[in-house]
Amino acid sequence: MKKTYLQAVTDALDCAMGADPDVVIIGEDVGVYGGGMGATRGLLEKYTSSRVIETPISETAFTGAAVGCALLGMRPVVEIIFSDFTSLAVDPIVNHAAKFRFMSAGTMRVPMVVRTPLGAGTGAAAQHSQSVENMFLNVPGLTVLAPSDAYDAKGLLISAIELDDPVVFFEHKKCYPMEGEVPEGSYRVPIGKADIKKQGRDISIISYSRMSCTALEAADMLEKDGISAEVVDLRSLRPLDVQTIAESVMKTKRALIVTEAPVFGGFSGELESVVYETAGSGLMCPVRRLGGEEMPVAYSESIESQQIPDAEKIIKTVKEMLS
Q: End of a domain among 131, 150, 181?
A: 181
For the chain, counts of helices (H) and of strands (E) = 11, 14
Other C-beta atoms within 10 Å of 322: how many?
A: 15
Residues 221 and 154 in one domain: no
Domain with 125 in it: what CATH number? 3.40.50.970
The reply to whether 188 falls in a domain is no
Looking at residue 76, its pLDDT comes to: 98
Residues 162 and 283 in one domain: no
Residues 29 and 176 in one domain: yes
Q: Which of 89, 88, 83, 93 is nearest to 36 (CA)?
A: 83
Please identify every residue annotated as catalytic: 59, 128
The reply to whether 154 falls in a domain is yes
The reply to whether 276 falls in a domain is yes
- Grade residue 131 by pLDDT with cuts at 50, 70 and 90: very high
Looking at residue 30, its pLDDT comes to: 97
Residues 177 and 200 in one domain: no
Domain that holds residue 12: 2-181
> What is the reported pTM?
0.96
Other C-beta atoms within 10 Å of 262: how many?
A: 18
**Which backbone phi and psi does 232 adopt, to 5 degrees?**
-100, 110
Residues 219 and 145 in one domain: no
Looking at residue 284, its pLDDT comes to: 96
Total domains present in the chain? 2
**Which backbone phi and psi does 310 adopt, to 5 degrees?**
-125, 180
Q: Encode pLDDT of 168-188 as tens digits.
A: 999 999 999 999 999 999 999
- Grade residue 207 by pLDDT with cuts at 50, 70 and 90: very high
Contact yes or no for 315/221 (Cβ under 8 A): yes
The 3-state DSSP class for residue 69 equals helix
Residues 10 and 157 in one domain: yes
* Chain CA centroid to CA 257, Å: 16
Contact yes or no for 27/61 (Cβ under 8 A): no
Residues 204 and 156 in one domain: no
Looking at residue 173, its pLDDT comes to: 97
Residues 163 and 246 in one domain: no
The reply to whether 186 falls in a domain is no
Residues 199 and 175 in one domain: no
Q: End of a domain among 132, 149, 181?
A: 181
Q: Encode pLDDT of 40-99 as tens digits.
A: 999 999 999 999 999 999 999 999 999 999 999 999 999 999 999 999 999 999 999 999
Q: Which whole number is the average pLDDT over 125-154? A: 97
| Whole-number average pLDDT of the chain | 97
The 3-state DSSP class for residue 91 equals helix
Q: Encode pLDDT of 262-315 as tens digits.
A: 999 999 999 999 999 999 999 999 999 999 999 999 999 999 999 999 999 999
Q: Which whole number is the average pLDDT over 121-145? A: 95
Residues 87 and 217 in one domain: no
Looking at residue 126, its pLDDT comes to: 94
Long-range contacts of 222-227 (CB under 8 A, 24+ apart): 222/315, 222/318, 225/319, 227/202, 227/203, 227/318, 227/319, 227/322
Looking at residue 215, its pLDDT comes to: 98
The reply to whether 189 falls in a domain is no
Looking at residue 13, its pLDDT comes to: 98
Please measure the distance between the N-terminal and C-terminal CA atoms of the chain and give it in whole angstroms.
42
- Grade residue 35 by pLDDT with cuts at 50, 70 and 90: very high
**In what helix (H) or strand (E) does residue 264 lie, and over which residues does it extend?**
none
Looking at residue 69, its pLDDT comes to: 97
Contact yes or no for 292/259 (Cβ under 8 A): yes
The reply to whether 175 falls in a domain is yes
Q: End of a domain among 181, 204, 229?
A: 181
The reply to whether 162 falls in a domain is yes
Residues 139 and 35 in one domain: yes
Looking at residue 140, its pLDDT comes to: 97
The reply to whether 200 falls in a domain is yes
Residues 148 and 47 in one domain: yes
- The percent of residues in the chain predicted with pLDDT above 90, rounded, is 98
Domain with 231 in it: what CATH number? 3.40.50.920
